[in-house]
């Protein structure tokens, strides 16, 4: 586990007083915010050990970023062609489950307490949204992601070419493997010299919460609530760490794309992948969902909070407002020694305009969208 990251300063035009305030906050507070997400360039001050994991991804906070988000996501054009997509969604039956845990592995993330939650039936995408599916959306609407408009996004350093690294002179202090890369976006996951040409079936990356909402709206869907996501993750099992049970590798088989080896020094790729895997890889859980943990972090619709009522609730939707959104599931960068967040109860956060090379999403729906 690592500490919460801090605000990332960008080489944009920032009012002097605001810049001074940010610098004072960074120097005095160190790591007051969660580094569990990817986004925004520049440097971040060191963080203390009580924060979220640096394998998660840095954030883009600040008033400029939020103002920019609203302008950048005046959603899709009203005349945009609606997609014709196969209903590759699982029906998730109504039920009651235990959300969270009374044995939190990362207490500062608000994993506890365990509480009973009732969920109405809904539908969940079988797969994380792939590059191919996101490309259909972009081609249909002309949508431009926030990473593209900001001009950069965060990338895990070992995925970068030497040429790209030579031009980078900043990093996240608390997690120096996160580098701000100009030209990194969903089409170029590792910067301008990379491509998704041979990764059409891999999860789309460098997608902000705002971008994910725009896609889901276009597809006639929505983001799942955190409760829906966790209920889906558990696949009908009760009080289990992972979607398939309590053992990470039952009978020696890999069930998720996570880090093997020593983070962040070496990833053996024992599970077959050192970066993302195809969205259809690995066995599905009890509800037929693939890669619900590992591979790429997945956005949910909830605002972030670490305070939860122990009372039984029906379809909770999180607090009415906040600064960060909840993401779930961990990614290919997660390892038990550092980012043990590929458990169903685990969680992390990012600002809605954050993006990174391990952050994606899948959609949900209250009913199957028209096709």
| CA 322 – CA 304 distance, rounded (Å) | 6
The predicted pLDDT at position 81 comes to: 56
E-strand ranges in the chain read 89-92, 95-99, 115-119, 122-125, 152-156, 178-182, 261-262, 266-267, 297-303, 313-314, 325-328, 348-350, 359-360, 364-365
Give a yes or no: residue 345 inside a domain: yes
| CA 125 – CA 288 distance, rounded (Å) | 9
The predicted pLDDT at position 28 comes to: 29
The predicted pLDDT at position 7 comes to: 31
SS (H, E, C) 125-160: ECCCCEHHHHHHHHHHHCCCCHHHHHCEEEEEHHHC
DSSP state letter for 321: -
The predicted pLDDT at position 29 comes to: 27
Give a yes or no: residue 78 inside a domain: no
User: H-type helices in 285-337, by residue range?
Assistant: none
User: Which distant-in-sequence residues (6+ apart) come within 8 Å of 94 by Cβ?
Assistant: 118, 119, 120, 121
Give a yes or no: residue 8 inside a domain: no
- Positive or negative: CA dihedral 149, 73, 292, 91: negative
Whole-structure pTM over 0.95, yes or no? no
52-81 residues labelled b (16+ CB within 10 A) or e (exposed): bbbbbbbbbbbebbeebbeebbeebeeeee
The answer to whether 100 touches 328, Cβ cutoff 8 Å, is no
Q: Across the beta sheet with 115-119, what order do the strands follow?
A: 95-99, 115-119, 313-314
Instruction: Check which CATH number belongs to the domain holding 155 and give it.
Output: 3.90.1580.10
* Residue 113 zone, left/alpha/beta (φ > 0; ψ -120 to 50; rest): beta
Give a yes or no: residue 126 inside a domain: yes
Give the 3-state secondary structure of residue 279: coil
DSSP state letter for 23: H
Give the 3-state secondary structure of residue 18: helix
User: pLDDT tens for residues 75-130?
Assistant: 433 334 545 445 599 999 999 999 999 999 999 999 999 999 999 999 999 999 99
Quote the domain boundaries for residue 244.
Answer: 89-365
Those residues of the chain that have pLDDT short of 50 are 1-53, 63-80, 82, 84-85
Give a yes or no: residue 98 inside a domain: yes
User: pLDDT tens for residues 270-301?
Assistant: 999 999 999 999 999 999 999 999 999 999 99
How many independent structural domains does the chain possess? 1
* Residue 222 zone, left/alpha/beta (φ > 0; ψ -120 to 50; rest): beta
The predicted pLDDT at position 253 comes to: 96
Give a yes or no: residue 70 inside a domain: no
The predicted pLDDT at position 171 comes to: 85
The predicted pLDDT at position 189 comes to: 98
């Amino acid at each position: 586990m690592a500490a919460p990251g801090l605000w990332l300063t960008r080489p944009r035009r920032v009012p002097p007083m605001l810049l001074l305030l940010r610098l004072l906050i960074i120097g005095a507070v160190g790591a007051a915010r969660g580094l569990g997400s990817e986004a925004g360039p520049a440097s971040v001050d060191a963080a203390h050990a009580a924060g979220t994991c640096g394998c998660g991804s840095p954030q883009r906070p600040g008033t400029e970023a939020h103002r920019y988000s609203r302008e950048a996501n005046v959603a899709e054009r009203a005349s945009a062609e609606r997609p014709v997509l196969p209903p590759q969604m699982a029906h998730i039956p109504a039920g009651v489950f235990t959300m969270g845990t009374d044995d939190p592995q990362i207490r500062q993330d608000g994993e506890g307490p365990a509480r009973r939650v009732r969920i109405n039936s809904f539908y969940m995408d079988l797969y994380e949204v792939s590059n191919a599916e996101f490309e259909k959306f972009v081609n249909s609407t002309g949508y431009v992601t926030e990473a593209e408009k900001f001009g950069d996004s965060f990338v895990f350093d070992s995925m970068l070419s030497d040429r790209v690294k030579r031009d980078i002179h900043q990093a996240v202090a608390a997690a120096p493997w996160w580098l701000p890369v100009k030209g990194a976006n969903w089409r170029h996951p590792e910067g301008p010299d990379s491509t998704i040409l041979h990764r059409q079936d891999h999860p789309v990356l460098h997608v902000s919460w705002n971008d994910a909402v725009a896609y889901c709206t276009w597809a006639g869907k929505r983001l799942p609530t955190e409760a829906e996501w966790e209920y889906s993750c558990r696949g009908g099992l009760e009080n289990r760490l992972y979607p398939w049970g309590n053992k990470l590798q039952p009978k020696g088989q890999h069930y998720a794309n996570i880090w093997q080896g020593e983070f962040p020094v070496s990833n053996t790729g024992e599970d077959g992948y050192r970066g993302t895997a195809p969205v259809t890889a690995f066995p599905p859980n009890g509800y037929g969902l693939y890669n619900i943990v590992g591979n790429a972090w997945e956005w949910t619709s909830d605002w972030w909070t670490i305070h939860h009522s122990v009372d039984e609730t029906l379809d909770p939707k999180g607090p009415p407002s906040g600064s960060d959104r909840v993401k779930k599931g961990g990614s290919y960068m997660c390892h038990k020694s550092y980012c043990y967040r590929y458990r169903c109860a685990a969680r992390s956060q990012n600002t809605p305009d954050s993006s990174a090379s391990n952050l994606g999403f899948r959609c949900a729906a209250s009913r199957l969208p028209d096709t």
